[in-house]
């Protein structure tokens, strides 16, 4: 359709799961033909909306939506400075929507446009946590009953330790009380006190308990959230070797990735990185030098499907597997984009998944089916997911 043109670009904000989401809808001059893309940067949701509505939309209207690569390349440099999370998410929403349109035009799911299925189902890992080792164990057993074979295990507050003080904080936080643990300085500053030393000591204790109780037939993941010093991260990776983690996630911050060479030399614990990455210069040296085992970028924050498919291929050439970031602060459209990449990538490793509530599934018809720890996409053309704008409007950001 050589005369196909983009006629309108709009940003839909909605929060049916209690988290602010941004979805781009690109309409064309072909009646009923439109595409959806995820542009969710929930911490700066209105900045992303402004970037799309004020800058990307005028740039796009009148263009041929089938020229995905051309639009991505020109879009990424259209503001001169690039590779920031706001503009990358704006570009991602556009990019995913264009792939959605392309698939609908071809009458094919996006995974077929990317080369076709390499697997029938997508193995998932779920999140488990608890205030102490026993509570984490109990929650893992519940997930195992649901069929999950991969679980991320955290103890205490989000990414934190399971000391009595931190357990108290985790319990009381829901009651909106400001708790000062014994090891914190005297202060009235509100919020959570994170003790990296207590955390680093608690993690081996957690996995010692879990392996003793649950054995080695279940795969464990742990997320450091780059909240310790590089030396502490290296020591932690060494200590955790005996517990045979599936991988240790984000042991250092993006600003400290040079430390991964020392970590690699001293520990055989598999490493995943990428949640906070925004450009190729962050991940390329890690892949080139085989310093990581899994790349887990947030697809919308690196600019969408177009750069992610290239990253997947580049990783394949270097023996690195994919594990795209899949938290609760990603729209179901973004979840589907992840999974189309998962299905079509031979070097797929694992997919993070956060369960969707009924409101999310109602607003976004076409969400993946989850069964016994696997995800299954429908075979509809494009991304296979839609949005009910009237229902979305009932959940304002």
Backbone angles phi, psi at 243, to 5 degrees: -95, 0
Residues 59/49, Cβ–Cβ less than 8 Å: no
Residue 135's nearest CA partner among 148, 158, 118, 153 is: 153
> How far is the CA of 198 from the CAs of 131, 236, 338, in angstroms?
14, 12, 35
CA distance 311 to 278: 12
- CB atoms under 10 Å from CB of 29, counted, come to 14
Give the residue numbers annotated as catalytic, written as ranges.
158, 225
Residue recorded with tokens 């608690």: 202
Torsion angle of alpha carbons 326, 332, 334, 336, nearest 10°? 90
- CB atoms under 10 Å from CB of 330, counted, come to 24
Pairing of strands 150-153, 219-223: parallel
CA distance 33 to 28: 6
Residues 93/23, Cβ–Cβ less than 8 Å: yes
């Amino acid at each position: 359709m050589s005369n196909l043109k983009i006629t309108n670009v709009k940003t839909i904000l909605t929060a049916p799961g209690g988290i602010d989401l941004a979805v781009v809808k690109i309409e064309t001059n072909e009646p009923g033909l439109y595409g959806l893309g995820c542009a969710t940067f929930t911490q700066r949701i209105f900045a992303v909306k402004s970037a799309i509505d004020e800058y990307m939309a005028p740039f796009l209207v009148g263009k041929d939506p089938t020229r995905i690569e051309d639009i991505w390349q020109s879009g990424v440099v259209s503001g001169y400075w690039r590779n920031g999370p706001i503009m990358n998410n704006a570009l991602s929403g556009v990019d995913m929507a264009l792939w959605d349109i392309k698939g609908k035009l071809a009458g094919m799911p996006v995974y077929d446009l990317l080369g076709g299925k390499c697997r029938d189902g997508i193995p998932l890992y779920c999140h488990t946590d608890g205030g102490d080792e026993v509570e984490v164990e109990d929650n893992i057993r519940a997930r195992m009953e649901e069929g999950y074979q991969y679980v991320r295990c955290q103890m205490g507050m989000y990414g934190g330790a399971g000391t009595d003080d931190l357990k108290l904080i985790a319990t009381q936080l829901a009651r909106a009380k400001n708790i000062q643990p014994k090891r914190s300085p005297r202060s009235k500053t509100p919020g959570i006190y994170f003790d990296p030393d207590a955390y680093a000591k608690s993690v081996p204790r957690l996995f010692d308990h879990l392996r003793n109780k649950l054995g080695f037939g279940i795969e464990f993941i742990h997320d450091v959230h780059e909240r310790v010093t590089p030396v502490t991260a290296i020591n932690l990776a060494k200590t955790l070797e005996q517990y045979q983690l599936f991988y240790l996630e984000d042991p250092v911050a993006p600003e400290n990735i040079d430390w991964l060479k020392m970590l690699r030399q001293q520990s055989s614990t598999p490493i995943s990185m990428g949640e906070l990455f925004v450009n190729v210069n962050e991940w390329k040296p890690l892949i080139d030098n085989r310093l990581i085992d899994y790349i887990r970028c947030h697809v919308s924050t690196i600019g969408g499907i177009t750069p992610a498919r290239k990253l997947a291929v580049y990783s394949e050439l270097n023996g690195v597997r994919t594990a795209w970031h899949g938290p609760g602060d990603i729209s179901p459209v973004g979840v589907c984009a992840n999974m189309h990449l998962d299905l079509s990538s031979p070097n797929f490793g694992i997919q993070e998944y956060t369960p969707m509530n009924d409101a999310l599934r109602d607003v976004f018809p076409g969400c993946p089916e989850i069964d016994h720890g696997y995800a299954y996409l429908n075979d509809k053309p494009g991304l296979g997911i839609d949005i009910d704008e009237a229902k979305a409007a009932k959940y304002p950001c």
